[in-house]
Structure 1
């Protein structure tokens, strides 16, 4: 007896080249494509990287592995090692009085690792049966894309469904010299020469992370801050991060925005001059430096996809795709995931999980939607800041200020005691008064990311403050501070840094 064939599947395979085309080869796109292929779909991934203004380009894997999370964390670690060398002397290790860092060696090691990852992604797609095509696509209609490869060859491809996962690229200000002389985070991790004295423009997590590791590696760093630090994050924590960086030698110029960049002398690095204005006071500042790094936001890479002409609604200001709770756009067979969607978190693990869940719904029997609220993240500044859930400001807005209580304290890691470092580490739980549920977790401390990952599960399953209080802490650790947070903001009590995470 002949096997029963689903007519719908037969019709799709005959009508289109693919069941699914994923536009974008970043973390989200790769995860979605491999999950769809594992569920039996015929899948193709199109990925193409346009060079930056200074010519930087990279391989398969998207922002995270090439010019984001991965090289950022490696350079952050490189910077921390300088401090560890200093601490080693305090602990009795006999090391040299001065440290010498070779930028080129760090860049080489970072890029070697990234290259291995690029190769691994291509192999993984092949092994999963996903067709990889290195070409830039534009939509012709809701089922057809035009692809142009690096040689200019044009081909057309059809699919039943599409997932847009093209991510974002850094913004440049509209000022003289910006694209001629400045770089962004797309360039810094492969810069073939030491950046020298660097001016970082911006106050995003990318700005503070880059400024932080450059300062830690021994370069003079000035950060131009237009308004606030870490917009979208808890502002009390953001300011504490900034204060620590300032104490470590990073100069902050608050209220200043760049007006123009000129080159004084070419070279590797060059000698530059950046002119900035304080919009509040009118003060003009001229700063001589070697590198200007812009980290003033990012724009979704959708402008050339021809989306609006086929009916896909896009936010005109951000270029992001407008989707519903199931990541479906205004055109029912076209979806979007990751940084490119409007109003959602711009985080790699979010894109990965959203992509997997979406493919499970499209080609499996999945029904689970992505949870965009209780998502942990960490800012890898010199003193890391990890968080999950609501900031204090957002909690006040969402649930009402009278319904929110904050439990917090300073603490000093035991590792810092011998070195007499100040107790600047900080822990905060944002709780609802009506049910005592913990809705915001914030930690500023070494290895904050590792702590945040575990505690995020507590928020996800609805833990209450008494659950944290009844948890036995591991002594002596930093994380145990969350088991003994007994100072509330409403009490007005002064914060005093205790040792060993607050345990004694």
Structure 2
């Protein structure tokens, strides 16, 4: 005979007791229930609480509990399938050590110590570090294809569609510029120089493929199980993994790390997903993009526009408001100005309203209609390719976080965490680009992942520093920075408490080629209330990333303006930081070489 409703309810209650290390049947308003839950929180013990006053069948569940335990009241506490009792009995069990013994004995056996959702830089770093400390670890990674069908292998955004191919295509553009400079240095050549997209793309994709394979080998060598499957929480400590063929498998773990990263945002206009590409598509694009419109002014937008123009393409950037939101605006505008003087066209204060296919092809032809953000003016033009780079969205809304109670920022999908990357659910952690209010940088995710594993399993207390992090935007004239943008420093410390020093400089490499004098620029922002400590470093020039790394280390050590002045530079290099002038002085005083003879 099929089970009755009462029997089904008993089964449901028993399943809750059996599947949770700590199960608290509670009422949200009950002070005794609150006290018990606070006890488990203070002990660092995860618990599952069913609030009977919020359940339609809460009174029926309470009757079932009475039948099972003889206890009519709440809280009704179970630990390791053992009935502990109400508030007083639970507190007494903690006091006399009985509670601790229940945790130690018959501990719930999980399939894994740690499951990581996301095989990007942060997830891989965390998994290998945890495995090195003897933990049983699984990594789930699955790339949902773009609207145009692009997908890729293990390694995440940076390796496949971010930092690595971006920097290599940036290098292709630099080499093209170097060819032009080389004639002034005595190089003579007669052949017609042109760029071959297919050769560049194939070489870069071959290198990325070797990295994908290397990551798989590294996980295997560390005894980390890797599954190319989409991870989704289905209940507490339990996840469903679905592979590309639709086959499902279920796994449990004591702890989880969410490291799913982000994917490009679309415009929500007619034709965007049908005819446009994003950076997820660009680096493996099977044809040269031709005349290209880049929509957006993020670092992804400007970097892509820069190297596409650098390899000889006709490139236009459509900017809604400002360049490089979140970065120092003086530096951002200088980077944009340089691009404009080197062939990149800009359409400012406009946004696309539709994209229409005019001709099929590789590339085809598209018509873009755009509207002014400052009025009703409408423009339209034709392009071969439209690249959307208006920001990225966190991949958190479709992985079942709501089923286990993990909170996200509903506005952006990002996950709030405390200073040890822990979410509001004690056994679930998050790292990387999905963190709310944190830097979206690969080295940050790697560092956070490693440190998290060491805290969880190695007894470490070291936390990730999200402030003094050096980074570089690989625009045609590279922009490196560490610490605060000037706008942010003013917001935090007040303009009257800051001293800003700056200088224009002319790299020695540019002099013989007779180009870009008084274009490269650097500035530091100092806190006058803290011994003129450098709280912001910014440089716009060649090899800015190589320069900024060293200053990042110095700022970690508390670099001051005095120590900077005392440092003898390496001559002749762009990294010589001497004779920076106060911003109150005439800019003409700053129009000299970065280095001094």
1:497 aligns with 2:595: no
Deviation at 1:283, TM superposition (A): 1.6
Aligned to 2:221: 127
Pairing partner for 2:329 from 213, 235, 238:
235
Deviation at 1:433, TM superposition (A): 1.1
Pairing partner for 1:75 from 148, 157, 169:
169
CA distance, structure 2, for counterparts of residue 358 and residue 287 of structure 1 = 50
* 1:277-316 correspondence runs (5 A): 277-316=371-410
1:471 aligns with 2:567: yes
Deviation at 1:97, TM superposition (A): 6.0
Pairing partner for 1:427 from 522, 534, 537:
522
The 3 A distance-change label for structure 1 pair 63 and 7 is: farther
CA distance, structure 1, for counterparts of residue 303 and residue 425 of structure 2 = 38
Deviates more, 1:100-109 or 1:306-315: 306-315
The 3 A distance-change label for structure 1 pair 11 and 257 is: farther
The 3 A distance-change label for structure 1 pair 296 and 460 is: same
1:439 aligns with 2:535: yes
* 1:202-241 correspondence runs (5 A): 202-241=296-335
Deviation at 1:96, TM superposition (A): 3.2
1:456 aligns with 2:552: yes
The CA deviation string for residues 115-157 of structure 1, in whole angstroms up to 9 with x for no partner, is 0000000000000010001110110123000111111111110
CA distance, structure 1, for counterparts of residue 591 and residue 183 of structure 2 = 25
Aligned to 2:578: 483
Q: Contact 1:451 / 1:479 at 8 angstroms: preserved in 2?
A: yes
1:45 aligns with 2:139: yes
Q: Contact 1:142 / 1:334 at 8 angstroms: preserved in 2?
A: no
SS at match of 2:501: strand
Q: Contact 1:405 / 1:490 at 8 angstroms: preserved in 2?
A: no
Q: Contact 1:142 / 1:331 at 8 angstroms: preserved in 2?
A: no
The 3 A distance-change label for structure 1 pair 197 and 325 is: same
Deviation at 1:212, TM superposition (A): 0.2
1:335 aligns with 2:429: yes
Aligned to 2:75: none
Aligned to 1:3: none
CA distance, structure 2, for counterparts of residue 7 and residue 212 of structure 1 = 62
Deviation at 1:265, TM superposition (A): 0.5
Q: Contact 1:82 / 1:99 at 8 angstroms: preserved in 2?
A: no
SS at match of 2:584: helix
The 3 A distance-change label for structure 1 pair 224 and 10 is: farther
CA distance, structure 2, for counterparts of residue 50 and residue 95 of structure 1 = 47
- TM-score, normalised by the number of residues in structure 1: 0.96
CA distance, structure 2, for counterparts of residue 9 and residue 172 of structure 1 = 50
Which structure has more RCO (C-alpha within 8 Å, separation ≥ 6)? Answer: 1
Q: Contact 1:222 / 1:250 at 8 angstroms: preserved in 2?
A: yes
1:173 aligns with 2:267: yes
Deviation at 1:87, TM superposition (A): 0.6
CA distance, structure 1, for counterparts of residue 511 and residue 290 of structure 2 = 33
CA distance, structure 2, for counterparts of residue 10 and residue 41 of structure 1 = 20
CA distance, structure 1, for counterparts of residue 546 and residue 161 of structure 2 = 22
Q: Contact 1:410 / 1:497 at 8 angstroms: preserved in 2?
A: yes
**RMSD value, Cα:** 1.4
The CA deviation string for residues 402-446 of structure 1, in whole angstroms up to 9 with x for no partner, is 001110010000111112112200010000112200000000000
The 3 A distance-change label for structure 1 pair 10 and 125 is: farther
Q: Which runs of 5+ in 2 are unaligned?
A: 1-100
Deviation at 1:497, TM superposition (A): 2.9
SS at match of 2:535: strand
Q: Contact 2:502 / 2:590 at 8 angstroms: preserved in 1?
A: no
1:319 aligns with 2:417: no
SS at match of 1:78: helix
CA distance, structure 1, for counterparts of residue 583 and residue 190 of structure 2 = 46
The CA deviation string for residues 297-338 of structure 1, in whole angstroms up to 9 with x for no partner, is 000001111112311010111111111111000100000000
Q: Contact 1:24 / 1:47 at 8 angstroms: preserved in 2?
A: yes
Deviation at 1:7, TM superposition (A): 11
* 1:60-209 correspondence runs (5 A): 60-96=154-190, 98-209=192-303
The CA deviation string for residues 447-470 of structure 1, in whole angstroms up to 9 with x for no partner, is 000000011111111110000000
Q: Which runs of 5+ in 1 are unaligned?
A: 1-5
SS at match of 1:502: coil
Structure with max Cα Rg: 2
Aligned to 2:76: none
CA distance, structure 1, for counterparts of residue 166 and residue 189 of structure 2 = 27
CA distance, structure 2, for counterparts of residue 229 and residue 144 of structure 1 = 43
Instruction: Count the aligned residue pairs.
Output: 495
Deviation at 1:9, TM superposition (A): 8.9
The 3 A distance-change label for structure 1 pair 7 and 74 is: farther
Deviation at 1:11, TM superposition (A): 5.9
Aligned to 2:507: 413
The 3 A distance-change label for structure 1 pair 11 and 27 is: farther
Aligned to 2:473: 379
Deviates more, 1:276-285 or 1:43-52: 276-285
The CA deviation string for residues 375-417 of structure 1, in whole angstroms up to 9 with x for no partner, is 0000001000000000100000001110011100100001111
Q: Contact 2:115 / 2:138 at 8 angstroms: preserved in 1?
A: yes
Aligned to 2:56: none
The 3 A distance-change label for structure 1 pair 113 and 11 is: farther
CA distance, structure 2, for counterparts of residue 258 and residue 46 of structure 1 = 37
